[in-house]
Structure 1
């Protein structure tokens, strides 16, 4: 009988490869005689999208869920949302996202938001918690047609604050590109690969546990700047019709401040109930 070749005893073992998550979703909303409706849905594990019944006065709400319970190094998420002209929608995460310590590769998160003329979108994920050793590379691209309105909030927590953990190793890349009918409106990027030094820098994060950013693209931006400044936020107008506000501090305090700003801005600028979406409070 023919003999099969055996691997020599001293041959190196093949490298161990961890299974990595490759999640994705695509959402498409369009107006109809009965209001905004879902026209397109694609989802790929571990990402799932749920559609709870909206509260009175609220637009259709999509709840984004990571069934894996968190993200590790080498995982990738691809997220796409498109609103047809005149559509309105709110997107939230069902809970805070957790990014675990990486063994080397980055966790990659790519998001593309596209708003047709007169569309209104709220992008309101809850905080992303970066464990010590996490390596995040997150990129956001937004395309706004004429008259579109966007309220977007992102929050990062540097370590498991409730457990007293600080992010001392790892890396962060958080990039934004916002485009309108005439081209690029705003670009921003946060990047560091020495969290212990970056977060402790007195002219950087100053020892803050967390940061949050609120972006509003709407004609009411200037009025909202004054409203948020009165509430103690660091708010500015990078250009007419575009509001940017930021918070630094303890994780709980930053979440409370960002939540209060969301409620105030959605009520005054978007004509929605001046409260947090239900997913933020349940």
Structure 2
């Protein structure tokens, strides 16, 4: 692999309500990903504790013990870890993707909250306002979370900020047609941003015998990695699993040149 190619792993797991238990679960998956050559290891949204848990009770700051333990895990394996957690924000929390390792320790706060399909994330979660990118081995990575995938402008903004790939942790809500929507949206965002999209969802809890609130968005599996022309390079079914992609910056340049989606878009 060249300096402009980066191996990224997506770890499709099922979180439980206990942050310590989820941290222990992450250890084995990070080891497997690093052994497979990954420099970036992506976990789902709500890795810290699944939805349906009392989020305010588990929320911790970015410099708190849970995020510090993730940082130590990343350092032990020389990787960047992206994992969903919850951080305090007054009487609500922030839905945060922790980015830790390889000299980074920061977070992206989910901008678009899941007030849809009968669920109201905004009742307990405060929205973020700022897109986030980090650079690993000369490859710029953007970050988005779950419901963000329905909003193309964020992905195009990340692309124009230099992102080659966009990490997309999710805990997708189940329901008729929802898995198909997830697949379509991930591939569409790849096409309309000319970027690799690493969509890492929570595994379907039923495949791990984890009891969850049936009204909460707790994942359907179907994690996938799409290339900048919307092709699926790796995909999982409903159960826990691990997939890899070698993200090539050259592919993004070729795709953006071919489609013209960033150059030709109208600004209203």
TM-score range, shorter chain: 0.3 to 0.5
Higher relative contact order, structure no. (Cα contacts within 8 Å, ≥ 6 residues apart): 2
Greater per-residue strand proportion: 1
Greater per-residue helix proportion: 2
Provide TM-score, normalisation by structure 2.
0.34
